[in-house]
């Protein structure tokens, strides 16, 4: 093995790139903060929370984020823990999330699911799980807020199994709940951690007891000790045993219980996470599978963000490295446009700051500055022509028609929308009939962002009018004659997207279903690979 191959192997094996998925308010921000605290990336509790309010205060649409108190954009945070290099990709958690949320999940190797113990599985958790399932992403679960009264632990597991369709294997078990919450038993490490509500921002664990039969436990917990022993017996008999293989295949989720705000159960979960979660995995391209251990560099862009720094007016393309080693100043080929580019100012995202990157490996995310030449889905490599797959567009669920305030700005509008569509900020459709621009989004908040960016970046004053549409599907057929007939008959419902692909826009799900039934040999896609 060459020295480079060895270096790559060592680095890839210690990388863990993951995202947190949850319904708003389940505790994702709080948990993120505690993870960063353990990783030494921040030193004070409250940092992430305040970041939620002040970060990127320079750009208008981020102001919107502040006003609404939600996190619209996705950031990447890197920290070290116990010899591992952890990349945490933050996924926007508001109900009004956008395609970015989905795409971030295509750049991770595993996910952490946070559930509120009082609420169980909620709507957005389901959507995000669907995306994880598309790629069999391994998922670890943290059931949060055990310091409050919530659902019975066994009911929570059943809820996850029923609603998310994934087997649950508890690796820890709560002792009591709410005011009576006494701690957790680690089924995995066979240790008891006793809770004290004074952990706050500090990172130490509570009292640790090694044996569940230790009489000290009865002294400390009273009847709760017996309840715990009974629960464990029950689980031993009827519970699902943990299997690393099933976890890695995405069919079983190991479950932890705790309280993020009290910093309880977090370290236990993090220790297990770095040990069990997969290191960067091979990625599919149109021609072959690329192993993260290969020596030749390759990477794929999964997200583009504009105006992170207003002073520069540039955009940052987030690239996930898929193989090889990135070194500052190296020349890589941008395959879609067939050009070699020298990357000298890539950025890596630390918890508080952005810093220049000297080197990076598979699983790392680097930010490339660009002025609109990079699109989502673009592949970069040293030489070999590759095209990574699996970065989809998702059929929009909300639609608006764009109206210009000044007709003189038609050209700017066209340019703005084309670029914003390439960036993946919104989907732009041109109906076959008429000369309109229909915007489609997965979350309605995207629309506000677009109007404000059109004004800011393209000096275009536009407004929306509602449009009677509620579903879109990309359409395709190998039967040319049939496809021509379909296009002729449904001409008034068809449109092209920004890349020229044909899509059907329907005013109701009922009509969509009806058309799909009428045309069984036409394929209707809810996702489309980025070209
Ligand atoms: P999110 O990013 O998933 O939206 O959730 P976030 O961490 O912001 O947490 C949502 C609320 O739940 C916050 O309360 C937070 O303090 C609380 N929380 C998080 N973890 C726990 C926990 O383990 N136990 C309890 N009891 N509460 C928890 P908030 O009142 O909305 O905000 P704040 O005033 O505390 O900042």
CATH number at residue 452: 3.30.70.3280
Residue nearest (by alpha carbon) to ligand 1 atom 24:
145
Domain-embedded: residue 396: yes
For residue 258, the ligand 1 atom closest to its alpha carbon is 23
What residues flank ligand 1, with Cβ below 6 Å?
Answer: 22, 24-30, 49, 93, 144-145, 147-148, 259-262
Residue nearest (by alpha carbon) to ligand 1 atom 9:
27
Residue nearest (by alpha carbon) to ligand 1 atom 25:
145
The position carrying tokens 């987030």 is 318
- Report the pLDDT value the prediction gives residue 315, as an integer from 0 to 100: 74
Domain-embedded: residue 77: no
d(CA 464, CA 270): 46
Best CA proximity match to 403, nearest among 335, 461, 339: 461
**Residue ranges making up the domain that contains 356:** 283-381
Q: Identify the three-state secondary structure at position 278.
A: coil
For the chain, how many residues are written? 531
- Report the pLDDT value the prediction gives residue 59, as an integer from 0 to 100: 39
Assess whether 417 and 462 both reside in one domain. yes
Assess whether 221 and 148 both reside in one domain. yes
498 Cβ contact partners less than 8 Å away, ≥ 6 residues apart: 417, 418, 421, 422, 427, 428
Task: Select from 19, 24, 25 the residue to mutate for testing ligand 1; criterion: most ligand atoms less than 8 Å from CB.
Answer: 25
d(CA 166, CA 132): 11
Assess whether 296 and 147 both reside in one domain. no
- Report the pLDDT value the prediction gives residue 211, as an integer from 0 to 100: 81
Domain-embedded: residue 244: yes
Q: How remote is the CA of residue 494 from the centroid of ligand 1, in Å?
A: 45
Q: How remote is the CA of residue 73 from the centroid of ligand 1, in Å?
A: 19
Burial class (CB in 10 A: 0-12, 13-18, 19+), 36: buried
d(CA 38, CA 204): 9
Assess whether 272 and 397 both reside in one domain. no
- Report the pLDDT value the prediction gives residue 68, as an integer from 0 to 100: 44
Q: How remote is the CA of residue 25 from the centroid of ligand 1, in Å?
A: 6
Assess whether 199 and 119 both reside in one domain. yes
List helix spans (H) across 201-330: 215-221, 223-238, 244-248, 266-276
- Report the pLDDT value the prediction gives residue 154, as an integer from 0 to 100: 93
Domain limit, last residue, from 255, 276, 297: 276
CATH number at residue 305: 3.40.50.300
Assess whether 132 and 30 both reside in one domain. yes
Residue 291 is given by DSSP the state P
Tokens representing 196 are: 């004290």
Assess whether 451 and 309 both reside in one domain. no
Summarize the annotated binding site as residue ranges. 22-29, 90-94, 144-147
Domain-embedded: residue 386: no
Instruction: Please report, in angstroms and rounded to a whole number, the separation of the first and last CA atoms in the chain.
Output: 36
Domain-embedded: residue 7: no
Domain limit, last residue, from 381, 413, 445: 381
Query: Pairing between strand 167-170 and 252-257?
Result: parallel
Assess whether 235 and 375 both reside in one domain. no
For residue 23, the ligand 1 atom closest to its alpha carbon is 3
- Series of mean pLDDT values for 10-residue runs along the chain (531 residues): 95 96 88 85 53 41 46 65 91 64 90 96 85 91 96 95 95 92 89 72 59 84 89 87 96 96 92 97 95 97 71 74 92 92 67 63 88 86 91 88 90 91 89 94 85 88 94 96 97 95 96 97 87 60
d(CA 403, CA 422): 20
d(CA 158, CA 124): 18
How many independent structural domains does the chain possess? 3
- Report the pLDDT value the prediction gives residue 351, as an integer from 0 to 100: 41
d(CA 411, CA 197): 60
Largest Cα separation within the chain, whole Å, is 82
Assess whether 126 and 272 both reside in one domain. yes
Assess whether 40 and 149 both reside in one domain. yes
Summarize the annotated binding site for GTP as residue ranges. 22-29, 90-94, 144-147
**β-bridge mates for residue 465, sequence order:** 401
* Three-point CA angle 111, 115, 117, nearest 5°: 155
**β-bridge mates for residue 361, sequence order:** 325
Assess whether 256 and 308 both reside in one domain. no
CB 301 within 8 A of CB 376: yes
Domain-embedded: residue 345: yes
Residue nearest (by alpha carbon) to ligand 1 atom 36:
49
Domain-embedded: residue 323: yes
- Report the pLDDT value the prediction gives residue 205, as an integer from 0 to 100: 55
d(CA 26, CA 172): 19
Domain-embedded: residue 11: no
- Report the pLDDT value the prediction gives residue 53, as an integer from 0 to 100: 46
For residue 148, the ligand 1 atom closest to its alpha carbon is 26
* Strand runs labelled E in 258-396: 283-284, 289-290, 298-306, 315-323, 325-327, 331-334, 339-342, 347-349, 354-356, 359-361, 365-370, 379-381, 392-394
d(CA 503, CA 262): 49
Domain limit, last residue, from 353, 381, 409: 381
Residue nearest (by alpha carbon) to ligand 1 atom 17:
27
Assess whether 323 and 422 both reside in one domain. no
């Amino acid at each position: 093995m060459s020295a480079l191959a060895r270096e790559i192997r060592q680095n890839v094996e210690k990388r863990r790139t993951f995202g947190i998925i949850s319904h708003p308010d389940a505790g994702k921000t709080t948990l993120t903060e505690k993870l960063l605290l353990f990783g030494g990336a921040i030193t004070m509790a409250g940092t992430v929370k305040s970041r939620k309010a002040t970060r990127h205060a320079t750009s208008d649409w981020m102001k919107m984020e502040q006003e609404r108190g939600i996190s619209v954009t996705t950031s990447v945070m890197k920290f070290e823990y116990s010899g591992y290099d952890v990349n945490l990709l933050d996924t926007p958690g508001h109900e009004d999330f956008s395609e970015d949320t989905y795409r971030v999940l295509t750049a991770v190797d595993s996910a952490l699911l946070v559930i509120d113990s009082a609420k169980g599985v909620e709507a957005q958790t389901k959507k995000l799980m669907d995306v994880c399932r598309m790629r069999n992403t391994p998922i670890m679960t943290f059931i949060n807020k055990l310091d409050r009264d919530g659902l019975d632990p066994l009911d929570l597991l059943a809820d996850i199994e029923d609603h998310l369709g994934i087997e649950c294997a508890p690796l820890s078990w709560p002792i009591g709940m709410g005011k009576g919450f006494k701690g957790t038993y680690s089924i995995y490490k066979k240790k008891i951690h006793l809770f004290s509500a004074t952990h706050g921002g500090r990172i130490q664990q509570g009292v640790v007891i090694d044996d569940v039969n230790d009489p000290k436990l009865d002294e400390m917990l009273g009847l709760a000790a017996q309840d715990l022993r009974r629960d464990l017996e029950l689980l031993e008999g009827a519970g699902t045993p943990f299997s690393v293989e099933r976890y890695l295949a995405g069919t079983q989720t190991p479950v932890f219980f705790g309280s993020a705000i009290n910093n309880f159960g977090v370290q236990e979960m993090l220790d297990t996470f770095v040990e069990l979660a997969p290191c960067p995995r091979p990625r599919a391209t149109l021609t072959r599978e690329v192993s993260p251990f290969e020596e030749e560099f390759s990477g794929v862009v999964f997200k583009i963000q504009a105006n992170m720094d207003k002073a520069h007016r540039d955009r940052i393309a987030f690239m996930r490295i898929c193989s090889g080693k990135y070194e500052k100043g190296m020349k890589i080929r941008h395959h879609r446009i067939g050009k070699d580019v020298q990357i000298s100012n890539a950025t890596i995202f630390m918890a508080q700051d952005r810093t220049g990157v000297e080197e990076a490996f598979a699983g790392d995310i680097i930010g490339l500055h660009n002025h609109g030449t990079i699109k989502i889905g673009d592949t970069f490599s040293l030489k070999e022509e590759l095209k990574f797959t699996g970065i989809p567009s998702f059929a929009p669920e909300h639609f608006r028609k764009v109206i210009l305030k000044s007709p003189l700005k038609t050209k700017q509008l066209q340019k703005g929308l084309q670029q914003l569509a390439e960036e993946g900020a919104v989907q732009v459709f041109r109906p076959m009939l008429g000369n309109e621009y229909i915007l489609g989004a997965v979350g309605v908040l995207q629309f506000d962002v677009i109007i404000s960016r059109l004004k800011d970046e393209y000096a275009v004053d536009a407004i929306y009018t509602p449009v009677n549409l509620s579903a879109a599907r990309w359409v395709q057929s190998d039967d040319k004659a049939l496809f021509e007939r379909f296009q002729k008959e449904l001409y008034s419902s068809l449109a092209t997207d920004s890349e020229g692909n044909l899509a059907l826009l329907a005013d109701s799900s009922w009509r969509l279903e009806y058309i799909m039934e009428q045309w069984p040999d036409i394929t209707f896609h809810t996702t489309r690979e980025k070209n």
